Structure 1
Amino acid sequence: LVTGAAGFIGPHPCDRLLAEGHEVLGVDALTDTYDPALKERNAERLRARPAFTFRGEELLGLPLAKLLDDADV
């Protein structure tokens, strides 16, 4: 589980974990606290990886426990 997966730092741990053979659940609400166009490009690039699952805008207001239902932690 990587939070902020589409932001400035998040794609880097996602790439590393994927390269090591892990399945990654990336989470990012895609807010405008960081360039939204860049976030969307990062998210699209990561979504192309078979072992990557992305959860985005629908997370706003979602309880953390519900998000963790999709993660093997």
Structure 2
Amino acid sequence: MNEVPVDLMQYALGGASLFILIAVGFVAIAWKGLAKRDAKKEVKNKKKQEKRQQKKETKLEAKAQKQQTKKVVKPVAK
């Protein structure tokens, strides 16, 4: 068998560990970016939901107000 010099083996291990470290760094950065994006989406959806709820409440109030101002017409017996 061919003997691999110790220096070459150390360089290979160092390179492999450096590669793994860089890969883990990229994964961490991507994970953080995804979490940030999801948080922004959640805030945006919450604002939309609040706006919809406010719109519904406004419609219901307008409907109730309309019912109060509506004249009650009773049929006249002939």
TM tier relative to shorter chain: under 0.3
Higher RCO structure (Cα 8 Å, ≥6 apart): 1
The structure carrying a bigger helix percent of its residues is 2
Q: Which has the larger radius of gyration?
A: 2
Q: What TM-score do you get using the length of structure 1 for normalisation?
A: 0.22
Q: What TM-score do you get using the length of structure 2 for normalisation?
A: 0.21
The structure carrying a bigger strand percent of its residues is 1
